[in-house]
Amino acid sequence: MPLLECVPNVSEGRRPEVVARLADRLRVLPGARLLDHSADADHNRAVFTLAGEPEPLRQALLGLYVEALATIDLRRQRGVHPRVGAVDVVPFVPLAGASMADAVDAAHTLGAEVARRFDLPVYYYEEAALDPARRRLPDLRRGGFEGYAARMAEPGWRPDAGPARLHPTAGVTLIGARFFLIAFNLLLRSSEVETARRIARRLRESSGGLPAVRAIGVLLASRGQAQVSLNLLDYRRTSMTQAFARAREEARREGIEIASSEVVGLVPAAAVPARPEELLLDLRPELVLENRLREAGLA
């Protein structure tokens, strides 16, 4: 059977008991293993990494939707990370024995079931997209949960599955298929969020920055520090080392330094920097995807 990775992002990072229940929903089935999860209060977001065969993964993810829809109300949820859904994004990534077509099929199968069972609008993105104009995740997130009801009324914005109306508490859900994505955050020695936003703008590809890089600048209120939050969409085009070097250069142009860096989720072994300490990064062995797959008996 093909082996897939799935990295659902849920709009909850401030209630540990809820995050624990969400994680428990992903541990219940043989054939699908929860490899890692983390939550951040400032982003108000939890990220889960699981791997397994398509059908056990689908069943585990349906349980995640049940718990998330029962416990998360986006009308009261706030955080620095953009979000449009309680279960915000659910990307599938092909692993051993799997093709991108397998990941796309898993995304479409899950999306159809989520729409049917939960009356939830579903949009497909990246390789799973049905409409090329709605392929990019930032385009689908634009306007956030608060702006989505009006957006869904616009021509060309009917969901790919489910009702053409916003779920009152859970918004919409974005389900996709893609290559490995590395979530790479840089903490600045500054509390100026506008500085972080300028650095992010100069880093991201859409503004003429680095290839296959998305970036936003945010303020982490709990630490009193600004952060540049990067998504490296293809580490073969822009590595963590290259992204860090450019970010440090841009930070120094602003008269500040990078204090530390972190990854959210797991990193493929091929993307691990030769000298993580030069990136001010504590990349422990348990954050390497292949190590966790071996521990779980999946590699």
State pLDDT tens for residues 77-112: 999 999 999 999 999 999 989 999 999 999 999 999
Q: Which positions of the chain have pLDDT values less than 50?
A: none
* Same domain, residue pair 158 and 94: yes
pTM recorded for the entire structure: 0.96
Q: According to the model, what pLDDT value does residue 178 have? A: 98
Of 177, 212, 244, the one marking the end of a domain is 177
Of 160, 177, 194, the one marking the end of a domain is 177
* Same domain, residue pair 204 and 107: no
Number of domains within the chain? 2
Q: According to the model, what pLDDT value does residue 28 have? A: 75
Q: According to the model, what pLDDT value does residue 30 have? A: 84
User: Which CATH number fits the domain that encloses residue 24?
Assistant: 3.30.990.10
Per the structure, the complete domain to which residue 138 belongs is given by: 4-177
User: Which CATH number fits the domain that encloses residue 248?
Assistant: 3.30.70.670
Q: According to the model, what pLDDT value does residue 96 have? A: 87
Backbone angles phi, psi at 48, to 5 degrees: -115, 140
Q: According to the model, what pLDDT value does residue 1 have? A: 80
The model's pLDDT over 136-184, given as tens digits with 9 standing for 90+, comes to: 999 999 999 999 999 999 989 999 999 999 999 999 999 999 999 999 9
* Same domain, residue pair 213 and 168: no
Residues marked active site are found at: 81
How many whole angstroms separate alpha carbon 34 and alpha carbon 151?
A: 35
* Same domain, residue pair 111 and 202: no
* Same domain, residue pair 71 and 186: no
